[in-house]
Chains A and B, each alone.
Chain A
Amino acid sequence: MLALAMVLNLWRVLRGPALPDRILALDTLYINALALLVLLGIRFGTTLYFEVALVIALLGFVGTIALARYVLRQDIIE
């Protein structure tokens, strides 16, 4: 189910008519990847996957903020 959700996200990233659609799809894509990593961590019983998921959460949030800021101001670092 999560893999199917990620395929749908990827379809919206590639097709999306405007820039915010693509940013939103990337945001959803990293959230789904995080869920998939948590599932893998449950399946294999190691805590390594949770650390990877935490790093992906941090970096994905920063990336979304940077992209939205680029759309708003045309400049990331002021």
Chain B
Amino acid sequence: MLLDYLIAGLLLTGGGFALIGSYGLARLSDFYKRLHGPTKATTLGVGCILIASSLLSLRGSALSLHELLITLFLLISAPVSAHLLVKAALHLDPRAKPPLPPEQ
């Protein structure tokens, strides 16, 4: 009974975080600001949903490894893809780099 409420709360939290991240992606003005929303909030939202799913399968008969695998892979791959996206954006827009310090 308590576990049911916990799972429902985690699912709602995950959906809310995913929605907030996507809203930030759609609304913020700059690309570097826009990167904040999805990379943090969406990963957290999917993490909440996966935790709820693994709790649900823990309550059943067999503990499946799929949720653990998805969580592990997502937590590894999200920072790498965000890093590469920022590198690509800096490559396309060199004005975003800070200027060099003045020569003495």
- Give the B-binding residues of A (Cβ under 8 A): 1-2, 4-6, 8-9, 11-12, 18-21, 23-25, 27-28, 31-32, 34-35, 38-39, 41-42, 47, 50-51, 53-54, 57-58, 61, 64-65, 68-69, 71-72
Known: A50-B67, A68-B88. A21 touches B15 (CB 8 A): no
| A2-B18, A20-B92, A64-B81 given; A8·B25 CB < 8 A | yes
Contact residues on B (Cβ < 8 Å of other chain), bracket: 35 or more
Residues of B within 8 A of A61 (CB): 73, 77, 80-81
Main secondary structure of the interface of B (DSSP, over half): helix
The reply to whether A24 and B16 contact each other, CB–CB distance below 8 Å, is no
- Given A27-B38, A65-B80: A72 touches B53 (CB 8 Å cut-off): no
Partner of A54, one of B11, B56, B66: B66
Q: Across chains A and B, which 4 residue pairs bring their CB atoms closest together, nearest first?
A: A50-B66, A5-B22, A68-B84, A1-B15
Q: Can you offer 25 A-B residue contacts whose CB atoms are under 8 A?
A: A1-B16, A1-B19, A2-B15, A5-B18, A8-B26, A9-B26, A11-B26, A23-B88, A24-B38, A24-B85, A27-B85, A28-B21, A31-B18, A31-B78, A32-B42, A38-B50, A42-B52, A50-B66, A50-B67, A50-B70, A53-B66, A61-B80, A65-B81, A69-B84, A72-B87
